[in-house]
Copies of this chain bind each other. A is one copy, B any other.
Amino acid sequence: MTNKLPINSSKFKQYREKYEQELFNRVIPFWGKYSPDYKNGGYFNCLDQDGKIYDQTKHVWLQGRQVWIFSKFYRDVEQKQEWFKIARLGANFLKQYGIRDDRRVYFSLSPEGNPLYLQRKIFSECFYIMGLAEFSRASDQPKYLKEAKLELEKVWEWAYDWTKVRRPNYSGQMSTQSLAVPMILLNVIAEVAAEDTNPYQREIEDCIRNLQLHIHPDTQIVYETVTSEGDFIDSSEGRLLNPGHAIEAGWFLQHWAQTLQRPSLSETAANIIRWSFERGWDTDYGGIYYFLDAKGYSPTPLEWFMKLWWVHCEALYAHLLNFYVTGEIEDWHAFKQVDRYIFQHFCDPKYGEWFGYLNRQGDVTHRFKGGPYKGCFHVPRALWLCWRLLQKLEKF
């Protein structure tokens, strides 16, 4: 971190208080009130604007993530019994119903915990691990961490030998790699290892190396999909950019750069956040696009032009972290720009939590607060991370 800051401490206080209020008065109470299923365990995650359950499916990504949030907050913010109970409700539901004998974790469950669907991907497993690891520490029960570590071994195996898990490979396919895999693994390892990263040194280096294959400094682009050697692929898939994802990868990498004390990695991390924000910002209507094509063709996903809450959550924290690390005023301005967009578009002062999906112009397109891919995670995580960092900045 730099040793001079171009911003007055009262500014940090102002943002810190704003986030504190949003997080503890309007975001966490929404999930605490509407999501727990005290009858069957776990959480309802398909919640309408006002918290009403519009679908009873329990999506496992969101179960694991909510366990992580409530466990983390119990440990880090305040030892509220309500928070602990909510964390336990999800952790036990997950452990009982989420995982099957071959250690694969379901994507979705019925309200009673019966399996509905299994993806040919490793992400359900990753959020299962994150939830249980954090709950283990909150509950001081080592068995949950043991379970998380056991599952991480399986995920590691599957992530690099996907023949057992993912879609089969066909002869016309190129050998590619996806940004999501090293990214999520770096995040999961950080959660499982906590202070003790020693047992995962090889895995950490491997993930950092693989993640860096997606970063092309010559064009200042972070590609979602590259060849296994890191080369650009000139197809719709190879040209597809997901600026929010690259920004999230940036702050994951920055955390590791700080942990491992690597200035050059820290610079890379700061840069990919700036490049992706610069490229992803919609100069006409504001907000960050969901997808772009590196050569300016129309991205093929229908929703490419939409503005998603999680993208802006990642950008909010990433820019504040950049500012904390570099002290550059441009990073602070980028943080303020994202903050302004968020509080003008995503917040819902009436019922709390944030809307998830806007059209290009910034109007809400989906009124629900929770859906198959949106739950109690990105909003509280970003606000909590910013809140903690702003506290540090205030005291600087």
Q: Which residues of B contact A170 (CB under 8 A)?
A: 106, 114-118
Q: Which residues of B contact A302 (CB under 8 A)?
A: 302-303, 306, 357, 365-366
Count of this chain's copies in the oligomeric assembly: 2
Confirm or deny: A300 has a beta carbon within 8 angstroms of a beta carbon on chain B. yes
Q: Which residues of chain A from 334 to 383 have a CB within 8 Å of any chain B CB?
A: 357, 359-360, 365-368, 371-372
Taking Cβ atoms with an 8 Å cutoff, the residues of A that contact B are: 46, 48, 54-57, 106, 109-110, 112-118, 167-168, 170-173, 235-237, 297-300, 302-306, 357, 359-360, 365-368, 371-372
- Chain B, Cβ-Cβ closest to A46: B236
Residue from A54, A117, A168, A237 having most chain B Cβ neighbours under 10 A = A54
Q: Which residues of B contact A116 (CB under 8 A)?
A: 170, 172-173
Q: Which residues of B contact A366 (CB under 8 A)?
A: 298-300, 302, 304
Q: Choose one: B113, B171, B299, B300; the contact of A114 (CB below 8 Å).
A: B171
Contact sample, A vs B, 10 pairs, CB 8 Å cutoff: A48-B298, A115-B172, A115-B173, A116-B170, A116-B173, A117-B170, A118-B170, A298-B367, A300-B366, A304-B365
Cα distance A109–B306 in the bound complex, in angstroms: 30
- The minimal Cβ–Cβ distance linking A353 to chain B, given in whole angstroms, is 14
Q: Which residues of B contact A54 (CB under 8 A)?
A: 236, 297
Extra contacts besides A116-B173, A302-B306, A360-B365 (12): CB < 8 Å:
A48-B298, A54-B236, A54-B297, A55-B300, A57-B236, A106-B170, A116-B170, A236-B372, A299-B366, A302-B302, A303-B303, A305-B365
- The minimal Cβ–Cβ distance linking A63 to chain B, given in whole angstroms, is 14
Q: Which residues of B contact A299 (CB under 8 A)?
A: 366
- The minimal Cβ–Cβ distance linking A129 to chain B, given in whole angstroms, is 22
A297 engages B368 (CB within 8 Å): yes
Known: A300-B371, A367-B298. A172 touches B359 (CB 8 A): no
A167 engages B117 (CB within 8 Å): yes
Known: A117-B167, A235-B55, A305-B359. A300 touches B172 (CB 8 A): no
- Chain B, Cβ-Cβ closest to A54: B297
* Smallest CB-CB A-B distances: 5 pairs: A114-B172, A110-B172, A115-B170, A302-B303, A298-B366
Q: Which residues of B contact A106 (CB under 8 A)?
A: 170
Known: A172-B112, A359-B305. A297 touches B48 (CB 8 A): yes
